[in-house]
Amino acid sequence: MEEEKKNNDPISRKKFLRMCGTAVAGTALLGVSAVALKRLADKEADYFWQIDPKKCTFCGRCETDCVLPISAVKCVHALRVCGYCDLCGGYYRTNVKDLNTAAENMRCPTGAIKRSYVEDPYFEYTIEESICNGCGKCAKGCNSFGNGSLYLQVKQDLCTNCNECKISRVCPSGAIRRVPYAMAYMLKDD
């Protein structure tokens, strides 16, 4: 009898309805949060770390600070910007005496830059990506003494797209930032 009275008590029903309301509101809130988190995750995946070639100063940290054993940053070459120079500032060290391919004349420490004759006095320079370490020495030389056609980019197929790019934390010129994945390269040819 006492139990039946408790169940019919209008105050208890009111409390019950309030509890239901709170639970529904809580579920709705969780639902919204889950959707918001999913959107955030999708948004993160849509973005990719990249180097702004207008800001990079070729400081060398791209070689040493990537989390990968060999940096995901590589030299790329804008052929439309290149002067096809014989005395290439990216290929040869500063003040070389003879324009020959002796190791002591080469600016690239890994031999990743290949030079091929086009016609007098022009030469084409290509980068062997698999042995480039992203040191930026060639790009620095090219930007100091040439047209600036050599520059650095983070390669999509190598980069693990870290939540926070380790290089971006040490880059002295703030050159690394997230860009939409669809336009993940900041090319000088464009």
Helix runs in 60-147, H state only: 61-64, 137-145
Cα(164)–Cα(162) distance, integer angstroms: 5
188 binds ligand SF4 (CB under 6 A): no
Shortest distance (Å) from residue 38 CB to ligand SF4: 22
Question: CB-wise, 90 or 122, nearer to ligand SF4?
Answer: 90
Instruction: Choose among 53, 62, 51, 54: nearest CA to 135.
Output: 62
- Residue 92 carries which DSSP code? B
49 binds ligand SF4 (CB under 6 A): yes
Q: Tokens standing for 33?
A: 């949060």
Cα(187)–Cα(85) distance, integer angstroms: 21
Give the total of residues touching ligand SF4 (CB under 6 A): 41
Instruction: Choose among 168, 185, 187, 184: nearest CA to 61.
Output: 168
Question: CB-wise, 15 or 169, nearer to ligand SF4?
Answer: 169
51 binds ligand SF4 (CB under 6 A): yes
21-26-31-35 Cα dihedral, nearest 10 degrees: 130
Q: Yes or no: say if 162 and 49 are a contact pair by the CB < 8 Å rule.
A: yes
Question: CB-wise, 16 or 181, nearer to ligand SF4?
Answer: 181
Residues in region 89-148 near ligand SF4 by CB under 6 A: 107-108, 110, 112-113, 127, 132-138
Q: Identify the residue among 173, 177, 179, 185 touching ligand SF4 (CB under 6 A).
A: 173
Shortest distance (Å) from residue 35 CB to ligand SF4: 27
Question: CB-wise, 100 or 130, nearer to ligand SF4?
Answer: 130
Point out which residues bind ligand SF4 (CB under 6 A). Answer: 49, 51, 56-59, 61-62, 66-68, 72-73, 75, 107-108, 110, 112-113, 127, 132-138, 152, 154, 159-162, 165-167, 171-173, 175-176
